[in-house]
């Protein structure tokens, strides 16, 4: 079952060297989610052939322009492409006013429902779930209200060994409870342990997104053990002071956080436009956390093993 991240935009505020402001697709099973929507996101949908109709939910981390100014154009294009299904958008207070103003002044007649859910970024919370996945938000420390997001698969039912039905004469109506972990009692009163009847389900996979944020160990509990962590890495260590002042992180700091949180893989992004060559950012991170990667645009990153 699909669980992967497609990077659409990886640059900090100023677009440079053909790198675009922040946006990325979380592709889980049949659904697409968008995190952040910098200017040009709709063009990246074209460039990388993203299936617009599968996008159900947009998560906005904060309202700095490089994370949200692509939203009016994306909504407009969805409309021109004939979208009818509902679009859910999560983000900090102010988001609704921005979207509604943009649609009003541009005389857009949107033919699908847009549900904008503004939430308190300070309050860690479950903000979205479907039958397969939950999304929690958690606070990031930046210059304005900012949320990180953790996507986590729900624990699946145990895998029932269907070949044992005839061995133990298992009744069809008992299978759901066996999948939930219960033992089985045969017609003759014999107890068959669940361990015999089932296998472990695949481990739930998880992805966390942290941008923009200053170096902040407070966020470690929220991203503990995720398979893939995206963490902003605006600067190299030489600009550590500037990073702190602007409430951004260096790539070494991103790697520190990845290490403390025991994640499996780290994606670095939100690169300052001063860096044409990103290899220095990667090297600094890998010194601390070897499983670090540059979140280059158009690249896909698998979440977990299966």
Site residues (vs a copy of itself, CB under 8 A): 13-16, 20-21, 39-40, 42-43, 46, 63-66, 68-70, 72-73, 76-77, 80-81, 94-95, 97-98, 101-102, 104-108, 143-144
Nearer to a copy of itself, 69 or 301 (CB): 69
Task: With H, G, I as helix, E, B as strand and everything else as coil, classify residue 68.
Answer: helix
In contact, 208 and 225? CB cutoff 8 Å: no
Nearer to a copy of itself, 105 or 241 (CB): 105
What CA–CA distance (Å, rounded) separates 47 from 100? Answer: 27
CB of 179 to a copy of itself, least distance (A): 46
For residue 179, what is the enclosing H or E element? helix 175-179
Rg (CA), the chain: 22
Nearer to a copy of itself, 18 or 163 (CB): 18
Nearer to a copy of itself, 33 or 45 (CB): 45
Q: Catalytic: 120? A: no
Residue from 30, 36, 47, 66 carrying the catalytic annotation: 66
CB of 67 to a copy of itself, least distance (A): 9
What CA–CA distance (Å, rounded) separates 208 from 189? Answer: 48
CB of 109 to a copy of itself, least distance (A): 10
In contact, 16 and 273? CB cutoff 8 Å: yes
Beta-sheet pairing, 114-118 with 125-129 = unpaired
Catalytic residue numbers? 66
């Amino acid at each position: 079952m699909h669980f992967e991240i497609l990077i659409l935009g990886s640059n900090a505020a100023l677009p440079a060297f053909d790198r675009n402001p922040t946006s990325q697709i979380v592709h889980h099973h049949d659904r697409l989610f968008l995190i952040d929507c910098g200017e040009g996101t709709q063009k990246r949908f074209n460039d990388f052939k993203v299936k617009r109709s599968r996008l159900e939910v947009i998560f906005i981390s904060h309202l700095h322009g490089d994370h949200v100014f692509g939203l009016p154009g994306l909504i407009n294009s969805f409309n021109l492409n004939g979208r009818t299904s509902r679009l859910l958008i999560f983000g900090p207070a102010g988001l609704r006013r921005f979207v509604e103003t943009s649609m009003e002044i541009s005389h857009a007649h949107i033919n699908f429902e847009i549900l904008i859910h503004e939430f308190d970024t300070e309050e860690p919370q479950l903000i979205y779930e479907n039958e397969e996945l939950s999304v929690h938000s958690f606070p990031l420390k930046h210059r304005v209200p900012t949320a990180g997001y953790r996507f986590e698969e729900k624990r699946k039912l145990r895998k029932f060994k269907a070949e044992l039905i005839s061995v133990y004469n298992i009744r069809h109506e008992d299978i759901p409870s066996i999948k939930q972990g219960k033992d089985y009692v045969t017609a003759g009163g014999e107890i068959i342990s669940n361990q015999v009847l089932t296998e472990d389900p695949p481990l739930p996979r998880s992805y966390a997104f942290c941008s923009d944020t200053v170096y902040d160990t407070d966020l470690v509990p929220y991203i503990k053990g995720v398979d893939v962590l995206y963490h902003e890495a605006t600067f190299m260590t030489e600009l550590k002071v500037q990073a702190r002042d602007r409430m951004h992180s260096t790539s070494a700091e991103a790697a520190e956080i990845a290490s403390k949180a025991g994640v499996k893989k780290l994606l670095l992004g939100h690169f300052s436009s001063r860096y044409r060559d990103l290899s220095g950012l990667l090297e600094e991170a890998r010194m601390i956390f070897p499983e670090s990667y540059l979140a280059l645009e158009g690249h896909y990153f698998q979440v977990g093993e299966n």
